[in-house]
């Protein structure tokens, strides 16, 4: 099938480009190294925070108090205050653990995978998203630690030679979880901190107060921007990105193993690992949007977090949402195709059993709502994006509810059937963990630059010393 058109003719630049095809910049024009530095560091170094920040801090602080009270009660009384009971031994604790850890994944995805894919638009959102990762992992980590029943013995999870001459049981996916989550938390923290070092040096140099100077000075480790340092720094950053990428995929994979190694219909499915990972990225981007849309308004960051960032996140949400929906379809198809009565019953019960409303809402939130992202008008409206992101936040919580209690509540024997409802302590702890998450976030935006300043400088046109020298 030979080409119809002559191969040598180059189109003249006469055509007017319609407005919608003019690319939205990742940084609004008119900024300089100084203006970027001053604008972002001023958020941290100013004396007065906006009123809304105080409202948010107070509200989330209240959440932390609820959390403290709930944990206090839990330590005094035990996990009996939760709604878990036979046959449902895993309830809100694991549900919220998975929800939170999933949210964290977008941070690593933005900072590592998009870096490796040379997606430059990641630059203004990666710091914020990484902080979100850390705080989400902190909130997630609370649940399994407390679910052990006697959290003061949690150190038994770590392999160390002890007087009981016992070792952890490494065949258990729950042990894999311990290693996956603690590695993930450590590496995310390292990645975040390494990214922060040059910006901490900026804050050290720009802070007026003595205490602030000393603290930022110590945290910046004496960074002085030497060319030799930058070279090793950049290699390290790329290598960390290369390490974080498989790591982040492995974390939710291992979380999915918690369920999938079991023989329980509804849990034992080989596609769980990619299904969970896609769901995690999906939930994470929804949460980044949920936080970024108000934050860019509150701190006047529209020049740095442009519509391009928001639209791209909307697209990623659509893509991962479709993978999640593919998984729901596969679950239904394989329930039938397995030819296994228990598998088939599991799915029928999921859709039409006592928890059918959860499943219906799940399909609305995760199946229908993200389809709005096919439309450019929705992707480029903050209200539209925010609304869809909220649907996804709820939807991903429902997904875990549908997977966990719904699979458990109909045991193989009808005599061991039961129902599950979270108690007020369950809800208290969920609200409390949200309080913790937001509390840490509010502190983060107060004390650390929420946009990577040095990376923003490299985005400016004046940063191109060698225009042709870009190599990744």
Partner 1 sequence: MSAGVAETNASATGISQWRMPSLVIGIIGLALSALGYFINQETFFRSWLPSFLFWFSIVAGSLAVLMLQYVTGGEWGLMIRRPLGAAARTMLWMVLFFIPIILGMKYLYPWSNTQWAMADENVSQKLGWLNWKRFLAFAALYFALWNLWAWRIRALSLSFYQDRSPYTELKRRKWAASGLLMIVLTLTFASIDWMMSTEPKWSSTMYGITFVVGCALSALAFVTFFLTRLVNTEAMGSLLKPTHLRDLGNLMLAFVMFYAYTTFSEFLLIWYANLHEEIPHFLVRTSGLWGAVAFSVAMFHFFLPFGLLLIRPIKDRPKTIAIVAVIIIVMRYVALYWLVAPSWYGEHFTWSWMNLTTLLGIGGVWIWAFIGQLRGQTIIPIHETWVEEAIREGALKVNG
Partner 2 sequence: MAIGKVRTGTYGVIAEFSSPADLTAAAEAARDAGYTEMDAFSPFPIHNLHEAVGMKSTGLSSMSALVLIGGIIGGIGGFFMCWYANVISYPLNIGGKPFNSWPAWIPITFECAILMAAFAAVFGMLALNGLPMPYHPVFNVKRFDQASRDKFFLVIQARDPKFDLDTVWKFLEALHPREVVDVPW
What value, to the nearest 5°, has the Cα angle with vertex 458 and ends 215 and 32?
A: 85
Binding mask 288-327 for partner 1 (x = CB under 8 A): ----------------------------------x---x-
Scan residues 17-56 and list those touching partner 1 (CB under 8 A): 17-18, 21
Scan residues 425-454 and list those touching partner 2 (CB under 8 A): 454
Binding mask 116-155 for partner 2 (x = CB under 8 A): ----------------------------------------
| Contact assessment for residue 38 and residue 442, using Cβ atoms and an 8 Å cutoff | no
Q: Does 383 bind partner 1 (CB under 8 A)?
A: no
Which partner, partner 1, partner 2, none, binds residue 268 by CB below 5 to 8 Å per kind?
partner 1
Which partner, partner 2, partner 1, none, binds residue 455 by CB below 5 to 8 Å per kind?
partner 2
Name the minimum Å distance from CB 240 to partner 1. 16
Choices 43-51, 69-77, 249-257, 349-357; region in contact with partner 2 by CB under 8 A: 249-257
- CA distance readout (Å), 258 to 85, 254, 261, 399: 19, 7, 6, 16
Which partner, partner 2, partner 1, none, binds residue 238 by CB below 5 to 8 Å per kind?
partner 2
Q: Does 240 bind partner 2 (CB under 8 A)?
A: yes
Binding test (CB under 8 A) with partner 2, winner from 54, 156, 230, 336:
230
- Helix H or strand E encompassing 408: helix 382-408
| Contact assessment for residue 43 and residue 319, using Cβ atoms and an 8 Å cutoff | no
Q: Does 167 bind partner 2 (CB under 8 A)?
A: yes
Binding test (CB under 8 A) with partner 2, winner from 22, 152, 170, 413:
170
Q: Does 235 bind partner 2 (CB under 8 A)?
A: yes
Strand partners, 85: 88
| Contact assessment for residue 180 and residue 187, using Cβ atoms and an 8 Å cutoff | no
275 CB neighbour count, 10 Å cutoff: 24
Q: Does 272 bind partner 1 (CB under 8 A)?
A: yes
CA 31, 23, 323, 241 torsion-angle sign: negative
Size of the site for partner 2 (CB under 8 A): 72
Scan residues 349-368 and list those touching partner 2 (CB under 8 A): none
Scan residues 28-67 and list those touching partner 2 (CB under 8 A): 32-34, 37-38
- Coil/strand/helix, residue 85: strand
Distance of CA 79 to the CA centre of its chain: 28
Q: Does 3 bind partner 2 (CB under 8 A)?
A: no
Name the minimum Å distance from CB 52 to partner 2. 29
175 CB neighbour count, 10 Å cutoff: 17
Distance, in Å, from the CA atom of 29 to the CA atom of 58, rounded to the nearest integer, reads: 36
Q: Taking Cα atoms as reference points, which of 310, 191, 316, 168 lies closest to residue 248?
A: 191
| Contact assessment for residue 418 and residue 409, using Cβ atoms and an 8 Å cutoff | yes
Q: Does 246 bind partner 1 (CB under 8 A)?
A: yes
Q: Taking Cα atoms as reference points, which of 122, 199, 133 lies closest to residue 452?
A: 199
Instruction: Report the residue number, 120 or 205, with the smaller CB distance to partner 2.
Output: 205
Token couple for 376: 């450019």
Q: Does 175 bind partner 1 (CB under 8 A)?
A: no
Binding test (CB under 8 A) with partner 1, winner from 196, 203, 249, 396:
249
Q: Taking Cα atoms as reference points, which of 247, 262, 251, 256 lies closest to residue 275?
A: 256
Instruction: Report the residue number, 241 or 291, with the smaller CB distance to partner 2.
Output: 241
Binding test (CB under 8 A) with partner 1, winner from 163, 165, 169, 263:
263
Distance, in Å, from the CA atom of 108 to the CA atom of 132, rounded to the nearest integer, reads: 10
Q: Does 169 bind partner 1 (CB under 8 A)?
A: no
Binding mask 393-412 for partner 2 (x = CB under 8 A): --------------------
């Amino acid at each position: 099938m030979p080409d119809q058109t002559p191969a040598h003719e180059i189109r003249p630049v006469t055509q007017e480009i319609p407005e919608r095809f003019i690319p939205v910049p990742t940084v609004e024009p008119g900024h300089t190294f100084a203006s970027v530095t001053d604008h972002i560091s001023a958020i941290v170094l100013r004396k007065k925070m906006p009123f809304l920040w105080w409202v948010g801090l107070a509200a989330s602080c209240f959440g932390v108090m609820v959390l403290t009270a709930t944990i206090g009660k839990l330590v005094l009384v035990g996990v009996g205050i939760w709604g878990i009971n036979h046959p449902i031994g895993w309830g809100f604790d694991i549900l919220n653990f998975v929800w939170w850890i999933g949210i964290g994944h977008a941070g690593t995805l933005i900072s590592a995978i998009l870096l490796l894919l040379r997606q430059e638009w990641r630059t203004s959102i990666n710091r914020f998203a990484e902080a979100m990762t850390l705080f989400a992992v902190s909130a997630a980590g609370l649940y399994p630690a407390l679910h052990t029943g006697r959290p003061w013995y949690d150190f038994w999870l770590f392999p160390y030679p002890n007087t009981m001459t016992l070792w952890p049981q490494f065949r258990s996916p729950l042990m894999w979880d311990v290693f996956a989550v603690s590695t993930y938390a450590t590496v995310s923290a390292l990645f975040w901190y390494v990214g922060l070092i040059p910006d901490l040096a900026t804050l050290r140099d720009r802070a007026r107060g003595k205490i602030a100077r000393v603290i930022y000075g110590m945290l910046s480790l004496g960074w002085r921007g030497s060319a030799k340092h930058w070279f090793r720094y950049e290699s390290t950053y790329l290598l960390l990105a290369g390490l974080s990428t498989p790591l982040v995929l492995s974390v939710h994979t291992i979380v999915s193993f918690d369920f999938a190694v079991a023989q329980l219909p509804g849990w034992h499915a080989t596609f769980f690992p990619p299904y969970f990972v896609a769901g995690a990225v999906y939930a994470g981007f929804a949460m980044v949007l949920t936080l970024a849309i108000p934050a860019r308004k509150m701190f006047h960051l529209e020049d740095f977090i442009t519509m391009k960032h928001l639209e791209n996140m909307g697209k990623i949400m659509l893509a991962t949402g479709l993978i999640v929906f593919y998984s729901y379809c596969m679950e239904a198809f394989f329930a039938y195709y397995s030819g296994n009565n228990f598998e088939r019953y599991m799915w029928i019960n999921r859709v039409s059993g006592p928890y059918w409303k959860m499943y219906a809402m799940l399909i609305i939130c995760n199946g229908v709502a993200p389809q709005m992202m096919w439309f450019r008008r929705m992707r480029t409206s903050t209200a539209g994006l925010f609304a869809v992101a909220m649907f996804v936040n709820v939807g991903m919580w429902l997904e875990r509810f549908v997977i966990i209690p719904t699979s458990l509540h109909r045991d193989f024997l009808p005599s061991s059937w039961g129902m599950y409802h979270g108690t007020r302590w369950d809800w208290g702890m969920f609200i409390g963990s949200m309080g913790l998450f937001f509390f840490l976030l509010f502190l983060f935006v107060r004390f650390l630059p929420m946009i990577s300043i040095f990376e923003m400088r490299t985005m400016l046109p004046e940063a191109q010393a060698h225009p042709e020298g870009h190599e990744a």
